[in-house]
A and B are shown apart, each in its own frame.
Chain A
């Protein structure tokens, strides 16, 4: 049971390049989400998914796309990287219980630098 696995751990991109950050979980969690974390700030929600085939925008969705074709995977795509997207990205998964979320588990993060 690996939990939430993110790849790559580090990435450097040039402005304008595109790439996909991978996230996979093996806990059969319905809910998955992507956050970014910038220095001195908390985590901000980018996109989330409440199940396969269902995605929605979070607080800071511009410049990012997601899809959820399987329960296990939730990739995050940067369409055209910008220096403002330099950040640490975290994927998380959880399952619904008691009308809300439970068991919220984070991956170890992807540190992205856009030059």
Chain B
């Protein structure tokens, strides 16, 4: 799993398996969260986001789960493919009710998909 401020963790899975990448966020007041995928030599690419009034959101092959009680976020990738190999970052934003325009990023998890 991943936590803001910790060493870059790694996750290795077999093609076709489901992947779960975890993130512990730091600020209980954060109300908007984003998962990014970054392939080698490229900029971060938006995957999925979730607001704090939700605990689950689904996209194409991806699901984000939010547990505000323990300040935990997870990204689930179904039927993982070799093209999913990348570093995955979670980011949090203090958006609600104020003018905080900053995203705070975790250090990322390296996902390797073995064919």
Q: Are the chains A and B members of one assembly?
A: yes
Q: Which residues of A contact B (CB under 8 A)?
A: 4, 31, 33, 35, 40-45, 48, 50, 58, 90, 96, 98-109
Contact with A along B27-44 (1 / 0, CB 8 A): 000011010100001111
The one of B96, B106, B108 that contacts A100, using a Cβ cutoff of 8 Å: B96
Residues of chain B within 8 A (CB-CB) of A103 are: 46
Instruction: Tell me the minimal C-beta distance from B89 to chain A in angstroms.
Output: 6
The one of A4, A48, A100, A105 that contacts B93, using a Cβ cutoff of 8 Å: A100
Instruction: Tell me the minimal C-beta distance from A44 to chain B in angstroms.
Output: 8
Residues of chain A within 8 A (CB-CB) of B102 are: 33, 45, 48, 58
* Selected A-B contacts with CB under 8 Å, 13 pairs: A33-B103, A40-B8, A42-B4, A42-B106, A43-B44, A43-B89, A45-B103, A99-B95, A100-B95, A101-B32, A106-B43, A106-B44, A107-B43
B7 within 8 A of A: yes
Instruction: Tell me the minimal C-beta distance from B26 to chain A in angstroms.
Output: 12
Pairwise interchain contact A40-B42, C-beta atoms closer than 8 A: no
Provide the main secondary structure of the chain B interface. Answer: loop
The one of B41, B43, B103, B105 that contacts A101, using a Cβ cutoff of 8 Å: B103
Which of A42, A48, A105 counts the most chain B CB atoms within 10 A?
A: A42
Among B64-113, those with CB < 8 Å from A are: 89, 91, 93-103, 105-108
Pairwise interchain contact A50-B101, C-beta atoms closer than 8 A: yes
A48 to B100, CA, bound (A): 11
Pairwise interchain contact B100-A40, C-beta atoms closer than 8 A: no
Residues of chain B within 8 A (CB-CB) of A107 are: 43
Contacts A48-B102, A50-B99, A105-B46 given; does A100 touch B32 at CB 8 Å:
yes
